[in-house]
Amino acid sequence: MQNLSWVNKPYYDEITHNLEWTIRGEDETGGTFVNHNTRFLGRKGMMVVTLVGDPATYWKSSQI
């Protein structure tokens, strides 16, 4: 797996205490994918959420 570029650079939301970023990557077969990462930060820890999907699906959902 290789990271190709940022789709969304890391952003910290001070109101919700979330850290988010999205990268576009490529696997060993040449297939591309999008990883959208979120860290929900709390007083006693954090929750890690990583969504992996097809770039075409990501672009459609991000325009809604």
pLDDT tens digit string along 5-22?
A: 898 999 999 999 999 999
Tokens of 30: 């040449």
For the chain, 64 residues long, give each residue's pLDDT as a single digit of tens: 777 889 899 999 999 999 999 999 988 898 889 999 999 999 999 999 988 888 877 765 554 3
How many domains are contained in the chain? Answer: 1
Tokens of 53: 């999907």
The model carries a pTM of: 0.76
The domain in which residue 28 lies consists of 2-62
Give the model's pLDDT for residue 64: 39
Residue 39: phi and psi, rounded to 5, are -120, 115
Length of the chain: 64
Integer Cα distance of 41 and 20 in angstroms = 11
Q: Closest Cα partner for 26 from 4, 55, 9?
A: 4
Give the model's pLDDT for residue 60: 57
